């Protein structure tokens, strides 16, 4: 059988070769193939193997993805392997060495099934995915997030299993344990960041109430910690002022911040800000994580603000929507009966910002009664049914005003 042509952009190869100032003969010599082979690549009649693709990218000082012509955000699992310069036979021993126990029984057939969109029975549980996906990311030399998204494109029905696990936010959970492991200095720094984080959240809420868009939380939660210049020109940030008033601000701030970052309590990044007359100077930004906020609340004995939902539970609005869909059973809820953004946060797919949805409901085509016309209706997925069974008692305490008996009866009868 002829080899199936893998994604490849011959025009990109030609442009990159000319940009590098190489002839076909010179490129062929650098890669170790014939001139005829390079010509066939540029004509699109053949696609290079993963190793050749990787080597071509190195010689041309480009990325394998650029040569393959695959847009960012559309990579398949097979693409990620090819971009790493690996054949399936190369991946088998590497993946087997990374995975424990039964998961480590990897075969080329399993990888082929995975890349063809067929589920591998041994790799369908949340526990298995938490092992397999990071292992593939390590082997393919890419991020876990990239592999997770490629996996989702092949298996959208597993969206609820692929979402990154969230740390518990109740005071007596992991947050309390994390607080116990901090020094007094680290606690002081974390509390100062937390207070400023809550102040920023209040300002964002007020802006939204006034009809102004405060922007994405990922932006306004990034708080200035320090500007790397003489304070005579820059002054002190609000966090530094808090620490100065408590006697904790000194030259050891950087190591304290990074100690908190290693524990997953904050994220630290850097940008530049213009300071007259110095020009652009580096600025350190700090962002509280969900785990960090839970840690402070546990240590200070503070409860989350009213309306906050612990862990990965749904808000009252989303829970009510899920109950409505469940009450309709297998007949489902009419497509236009689900308004607002509920479909993005509950449905199978991506929610705004490119985050994986929960995958609790799906919009499927069904035959209308007796007319043989197809209509779209929202129905529960297996993940949605499981969530209702598992969490209905918790929701009954959180939202007693949302009756869920009929929904639970429907789910139990399915």
pLDDT top residue among 8 and 350: 8
**Stretch 141-151: mean pLDDT:** 87
Of 52, 50, 67, 12, nearest to 141 (Cα)? 50
Contact indicator for 366, 354 with CB cutoff of 8 Å: no
Strand partners, 378: 333, 363
331-333-337 Cα angle (round to 5): 160
- pLDDT tens digit string along 229-250? 888 888 889 999 989 888 887 7
Query: Which pLDDT value is given to residue 356?
Result: 72
Give kind and range of the element (H or E) at residue 58. helix 50-59
- pLDDT tens digit string along 253-304? 888 988 999 889 999 998 888 888 888 889 999 999 988 998 998 888 876 6
Band of the pLDDT at 196, cuts 50, 70, 90? very high
Query: Which pLDDT value is given to residue 140?
Result: 92
Query: Which pLDDT value is given to residue 163?
Result: 63
What DSSP designation does 304 have? P
Query: Which pLDDT value is given to residue 23?
Result: 92
| Interior/surface letters 213-249, b for 16+ CB within 10 angstroms, e for the rest | ebeeeeebbbbbbbbeeeeeebeebebbebbeeeebb
pLDDT top residue among 85 and 365: 85
Phi–psi pair at 413, nearest 5 degrees: -85, -15
Fold of 174-300: Arc Repressor Mutant, subunit A (1.10.10)
- pLDDT tens digit string along 2-53? 334 467 777 888 888 898 899 999 999 998 999 998 998 888 888 888 899 8
Query: Which pLDDT value is given to residue 93?
Result: 92
Inform me whether the pLDDT recorded for 326 exceeds 80.
yes
What DSSP designation does 248 have? -
- pLDDT tens digit string along 292-320? 998 998 888 876 665 555 556 788 888 98
d(CA 192, CA 187): 9
Fold of 10-162: 434 Repressor (Amino-terminal Domain) (1.10.260)
* Three-class DSSP category at 222: coil
Structural tokens at position 77 = 């699992």
Query: Which pLDDT value is given to residue 210?
Result: 76
Lowest-confidence segment of 194-203, 264-273, 362-371, 389-398 by average pLDDT: 362-371
**Stretch 161-168: mean pLDDT:** 56
Query: Which pLDDT value is given to residue 224?
Result: 93
- Is the whole-model pTM more than 0.75? no
Q: Which of 39-48, 131-140, 175-184, 298-307 has the highest mean pLDDT?
A: 131-140
Phi-psi region of 272 (alpha: psi -120 to 50; beta: other; left: phi over 0): beta
């Amino acid at each position: 059988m002829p080899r199936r042509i893998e994604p490849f952009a011959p025009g990109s190869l030609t442009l990159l070769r000319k940009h590098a100032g190489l002839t076909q003969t010179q490129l062929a010599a650098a890669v170790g193939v014939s001139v005829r082979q390079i010509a066939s690549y540029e004509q699109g009649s053949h696609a290079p193997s993963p190793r050749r693709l990787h080597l071509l990218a190195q010689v041309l000082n480009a990325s394998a993805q650029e040569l393959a012509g695959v847009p960012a955000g559309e990579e398949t699992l097979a693409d990620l392997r090819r971009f790493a310069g690996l054949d399936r036979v190369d991946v088998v021993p590497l993946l087997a060495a990374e995975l424990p126990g039964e998961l480590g029984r990897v075969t080329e057939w399993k990888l082929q099934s995975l890349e063809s969109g067929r589920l591998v029975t041994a790799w369908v549980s949340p526990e298995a995915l938490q092992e397999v996906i990071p292992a593939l990311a390590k082997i393919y030399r890419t991020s876990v997030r990239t592999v997770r998204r490629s996996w989702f494109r092949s298996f959208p029905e597993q969206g609820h299993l692929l979402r990154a696990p969230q740390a518990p936010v109740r005071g007596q959970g992991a947050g309390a344990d994390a607080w116990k492991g901090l020094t007094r200095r680290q606690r002081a720094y974390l509390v100062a960041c937390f207070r400023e984080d809550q102040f920023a959240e209040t300002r964002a809420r007020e802006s939204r109430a006034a009809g102004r868009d405060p922007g994405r939380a990922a932006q306004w939660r990034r708080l200035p910690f320090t500007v790397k210049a003489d304070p005579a020109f820059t002054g002190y940030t609000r966090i530094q002022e808090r620490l100065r008033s408590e006697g904790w601000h000194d030259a050891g701030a950087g190591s304290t911040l990074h100690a908190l970052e290693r524990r997953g309590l904050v994220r630290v990044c850097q940008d530049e800000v213009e300071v007259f007359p110095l020009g652009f100077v580096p600025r350190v930004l700090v962002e509280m994580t969900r785990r960090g906020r839970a840690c402070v609340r546990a240590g200070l004995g503070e409860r989350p603000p009213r309306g906050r939902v612990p862990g990965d539970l749904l808000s009252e609005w989303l829970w009510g929507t899920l109950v409505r869909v469940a009450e309709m059973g297998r007949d489902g809820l009419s497509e236009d009966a689900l308004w607002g953004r509920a479909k993005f946060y509950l449905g199978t797919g991506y929610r705004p910002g490119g985050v994986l949805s929960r995958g609790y409901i799906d919009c499927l085509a069904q035959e209308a009664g007796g007319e043989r016309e197809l209509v779209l209706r929202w129905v529960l997925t297996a993940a949605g049914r499981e969530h209702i069974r598992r969490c209905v008692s918790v929701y009954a305490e959180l939202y007693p005003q949302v009756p869920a008996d009929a929904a639970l009866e429907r789910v139990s009868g399915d």
